[in-house]
Amino acid sequence: MTSHQFERDVVVVGGCGRVGLPLAIAFAKEGLDVAAYDLAEDTVKLVNDGTMPFDEPGAQDALREAVDAGRLMASTDASVVGSARNIIVVIGTPVDEHLNPDPSSLPRALSACFEHFRDGQLVVLRSTVYPGVTALIERKFAEGGVDVDVAFCPERILEGHAMTELYSLPQIIGTRTESAKARATELFSALADKLVFVGPEEAELAKLFTNVYRYIQFATVNQFYMIANERGLDFEEIRHAITQDYDRARDMPRAGFAAGPCLFKDTMQLGAFNDNNFALGHAAMLVNEGLPLHVVSRLEERFDLSTMTVGILGMAFKSGSDDTRESLSYKLKRILTFKAREVLTTDPYVTSDASLIPLDEVLEKADIVIIATPHAEYRELTIAQPVADVWGIFDAGVRI
């Protein structure tokens, strides 16, 4: 492979998003010269000003320090891709409106900057991809006459814990050649103490299996929750009894809305990869996606919603986050829009939704309150109205 001199260590493609930016910050924190390439001009400006465009604990100070030290910059100029030895791509593979993945979406996204790739670079695919996309990217570079190493090194951080888990979690390295393996090892050794080596296809499935396993876990508990509530029983009391000092059930999660940009999507990707022969995954989808309707149906058995104002507390897809992507709180809101007299929504973190109102106003006007996201701020509330508490964060509430 031809050797080149590069002015930077790392360029992160898609580098101002929730996956790419924490990674860029972490590498810069370790002393590497990093650029974040992103098409969102407003977000790029924020990053260059040293301001986080979203909430991520521990990231703001690290970003400011990296920008001030000249170790991190952001750009909308595709030519920046040619400036670094290591290119990390955090563009994932989405599913379409028919729940089918589009394996060509990542190659299409890279086409805008493909001319700037150079011989001698390491190209790392980071976000979840449909199995076989790494091989597709390898062929694209070979056909384009660009001599690069390619690796698939999946991101497995939990949003809100990125700045710790980037260092604490073992890093999976999926490569086909010894050269790519050595270079990916050198790169990620700056962050992770433990590296795990597999082939690229095994790494692709490892990422999918990780997310799908969690989605199925949540579906199992949500099904248990529905069964208990259909019999008028308190699921959280049952779960506490099961998990107390019992190691084999210690990891049983609470019931709640299983949402966000990854779990549902990746379950559908795995189903498509297996020729839609994935009964367990599709059953999990039906359970998790059906929970908002279950909540409303149980409320309808006890109340005339058409005469009532319903308050939804929490619109982010998870606690402590401002991220509303694929949040089931919005599915709950849509259902209630047809059922209730009025629906009011609030969230202490979300700033992107102009329809949200302050918590005090929701509690003043609502006849019923639903805890849709278990933000810590809600745990100490004293709520006079009936509370539909799917997550079990209160000792008592309406059994739904």
pLDDT at residue 2, rounded to an integer:
47
**Which residue carries 């979300």 as its tokens?**
350
Tell me how far apart the alpha carbons of residues 111 and 47 are, in angstroms, rounded to a whole number: 24
Pairing of strands 84-89, 171-175: unpaired
Look up residue 82 and give its two tokens.
Answer: 């040619």
Closest Cα partner for 341 from 294, 303, 373, 383? 303
pLDDT tens digits, one per residue of 118-133: 999 999 999 889 999 9
**Which residue carries 């059953």 as its tokens?**
283
What's 158's DSSP letter? Answer: P
pLDDT at residue 112, rounded to an integer:
86
For 266, residues 6+ apart whose C-beta sits below 8 A from its C-beta are 128, 207, 208, 211, 212, 215
pLDDT tens digits, one per residue of 252-296: 999 999 998 899 999 999 999 999 999 999 999 999 999 999 999
> Domains (ranges, CATH) in the chain?
8-201 (3.40.50.720), 211-389 (3.40.50.720)
pLDDT at residue 346, rounded to an integer:
98
Pairing of strands 171-175, 149-152: antiparallel
For 162, residues 6+ apart whose C-beta sits below 8 A from its C-beta are 22, 23, 26, 56, 58, 59
pLDDT tens digits, one per residue of 146-177: 999 999 999 999 889 999 999 999 999 999 99
% of the chain surpassing 70 pLDDT: 98
pLDDT tens digits, one per residue of 321-353: 999 999 999 999 999 999 999 999 999 999 999
